[in-house]
């Protein structure tokens, strides 16, 4: 028998995730052709997923005029080896990698022979020095891009997929092989598509949204996101349904009490609406290893948690991985005879702008919670639960889902970016306002875009 050829390992995909402000800085440089071609390096951290690597852009280093030798090597832009060394040293110091970016100024970008020749000389060396991180080059087109990546001196097995520009809406610069496959519009979404545009169906189908906490408000959220047509939902919750949940948990029945996981109820509700939606349920408490791995796949995260320290954990995670966060919370106080307070909020926190730790989750608030309700308090079956009203939870959940819809499709034309909504459950008043500026010294913002923890 002829020898069996060894099976080639499956390709790993490569994405780049970058904030709008940083991407605009990159484009303003490399798409300026007044003096010829321009280039620079993005320094990136890494988020390693099951089947792809996501590069998280942190710093932009354009090639300075002092280092450029224009037309010194045929038609290709070239620059000094000293500048390469400076960039490489900065990457090593930060525990990051370097990605070269330039543009030819046309759609359907493709690397030239000069690009390929210079890539081999540069990144074969870079990839050995930066190992185990991958490195490589991106060529921007007009709303699309192509890329070539290296690891450990080799060039095989890494396939560039897309650039994700983090803003509302998320902007995707696909490679030629990563266009959203044309699919028939879903008839069940016809009325929604009429409202927010013909491109919305495909964008929603392509989106993945994580929901942390799927009781109370979270159960409303997963139901509405399923109705809206989000293609992948990631419900996260470690609890079983108990009898006290039945008054506020959408989709739960008396038969679920004490033996059905809340994430399984969420899956049942979601697939009852649309069997084609992929549900990646994780029956664990964030931030376990499994929940972190699952949420790293999300384009948007919705936090529906009671404890402030848990909300801080989700906020810090979303900062590290450049993921938009929609946070909802409700505080109800009663005299025992009547409702005294019913205050809720929805906060949309985008990378590059103020996060929850900048203004809401203050040190004093977290310290007070630790004193009055130490960690583990909510796991005590004899602990008194927080007051909840299903209809009030639903108001906040609906606004949260509107915000997710806007982040994915851009239907509001930027009117919902980095905003908060304050809700008074007694009067029904819902007021919106801009988030404050970022806080100097914010511990969560200090880790923005840092991705996976550096290995020792």
pLDDT at 219 over 70: yes
Domain end position, chosen among 117, 151, 174: 174
Verify that 165 and 233 share a domain, yes or no: no
Verify that 219 and 329 share a domain, yes or no: yes
Verify that 247 and 170 share a domain, yes or no: no
The Cα 91–Cα 18 span in angstroms is: 17
In a domain, 182, yes or no: no
Q: According to the model, what pLDDT value does residue 94 have?
A: 95
The Cα 416–Cα 18 span in angstroms is: 20
Verify that 148 and 216 share a domain, yes or no: no
Q: What's the average model confidence in pLDDT over 263-273?
A: 98
Verify that 155 and 195 share a domain, yes or no: no
Q: What's the average model confidence in pLDDT over 355-382?
A: 84
Residue range(s) defining the domain that contains residue 320:
187-447
Verify that 379 and 283 share a domain, yes or no: yes
Angle between helices 390-409 and 216-228 (to 10 degrees): 40
Verify that 350 and 406 share a domain, yes or no: yes
Helix%, strand%, coil% for the chain, nearest 5:
35, 30, 40
Give the SS3 label for residue 389. Answer: coil
In a domain, 455, yes or no: no
What's CA 213's distance to the chain center, in Å?
Answer: 17
Task: Kindly report the average pLDDT of the chain as a whole number.
Answer: 92
In a domain, 179, yes or no: no
What's CA 78's distance to the chain center, in Å?
Answer: 35
In a domain, 180, yes or no: no
> For 143, what's the count of Cα atoms within 13 Å in the CB-facing half-sphere?
3
pLDDT classification of 456: cutoffs 50, 70, 90: very low
In a domain, 128, yes or no: yes
pLDDT at 87 over 50: yes
Q: Which residue has the higher pLDDT, 178 or 42?
A: 42
The pTM assigned to this predicted structure is 0.93
Percent of the chain with pLDDT over 90: 82
In a domain, 3, yes or no: no
Residue with tokens 């450029």: 68
Verify that 193 and 84 share a domain, yes or no: no
Verify that 244 and 344 share a domain, yes or no: yes
In a domain, 316, yes or no: yes
CATH code of 61's domain: 3.40.140
pLDDT in tens, 58-85: 999 999 999 988 665 545 678 999 999 9
Q: According to the model, what pLDDT value does residue 73 have?
A: 52
Verify that 212 and 242 share a domain, yes or no: yes
CATH code of 435's domain: 3.40.50.720
Verify that 151 and 39 share a domain, yes or no: yes
Number of folded domains that form the chain? 2
Please give the structure tokens belonging to residue 397: 């959940």
Verify that 19 and 122 share a domain, yes or no: yes
């Amino acid at each position: 028998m002829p020898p069996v050829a060894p099976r080639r390992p499956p390709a790993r995909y490569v994405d780049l995730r970058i904030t709008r402000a940083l991407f605009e800085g990159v484009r303003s440089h490399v798409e300026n052709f007044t003096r010829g071609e321009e280039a620079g390096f993005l320094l990136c951290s890494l988020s390693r997923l099951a089947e792809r690597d996501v590069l998280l852009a942190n710093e932009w280093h354009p090639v300075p005029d002092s280092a450029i030798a224009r037309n010194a090597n045929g038609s290709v832009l070239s620059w000094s080896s000293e500048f390469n060394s400076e960039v490489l040293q900065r990457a090593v110091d930060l525990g990051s990698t370097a990605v070269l970016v330039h543009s030819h100024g046309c759609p359907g970008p493709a690397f030239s022979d000069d690009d390929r020749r210079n890539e081999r000389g540069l990144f074969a060396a870079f990839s050995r020095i930066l190992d185990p991180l991958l490195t490589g080059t991106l060529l921007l087109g007009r709303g699309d891009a192509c890329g070539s990546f290296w690891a450990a001196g080799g060039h095989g097995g890494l396939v560039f997929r897309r650039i994700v520009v983090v803003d509302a809406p998320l902007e995707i610069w696909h490679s030629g092989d990563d266009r959203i496959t044309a699919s028939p519009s879903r008839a069940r979404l016809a009325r929604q598509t009429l409202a927010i545009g013909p491109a919305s169906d495909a964008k929603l189908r392509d989106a993945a949204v994580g929901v942390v906490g799927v009781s109370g408000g979270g159960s409303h959220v997963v139901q509405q996101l399923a109705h809206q047509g989000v293609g992948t939902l990631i419900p996260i919750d470690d609890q079983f349904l108990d009898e006290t949940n039945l008054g506020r948990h959408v989709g739960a029945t008396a038969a679920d009490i004490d033996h059905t996981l809340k994430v399984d109820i969420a899956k049942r509700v979601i697939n009852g609406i649309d069997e084609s939606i992929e549900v990646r349920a994780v029956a664990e408490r964030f931030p376990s290893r499994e929940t972190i791995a699952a949420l790293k796949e999300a384009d948007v995260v919705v936090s529906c948690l009671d404890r402030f320290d848990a909300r801080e954990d989700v906020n810090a995670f979303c900062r590290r991985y450049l993921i938009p966060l929609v946070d909802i919370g409700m505080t109800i106080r009663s005299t025992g005879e009547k409702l005294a307070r019913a205050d809720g909020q929805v906060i949309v926190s985008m990378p590059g702008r103020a996060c929850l730790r900048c203004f809401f989750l203050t040190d004093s608030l977290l310290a007070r919670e630790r004193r009055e309700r130490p960690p583990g308090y909510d796991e005590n079956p004899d602990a008194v639960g927080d007051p909840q009203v299903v209809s009030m939870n639903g108001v906040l959940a609906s606004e949260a889902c509107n915000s997710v819809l806007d982040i994915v499709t851009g239907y509001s034309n930027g009117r919902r970016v980095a905003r908060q909504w304050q809700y008074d459950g007694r009067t029904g008043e819902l007021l919106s306002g801009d988030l404050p500026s970022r806080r100097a010294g914010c511990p969560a913002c200090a880790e923005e875009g840092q991705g996976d923890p550096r290995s020792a």
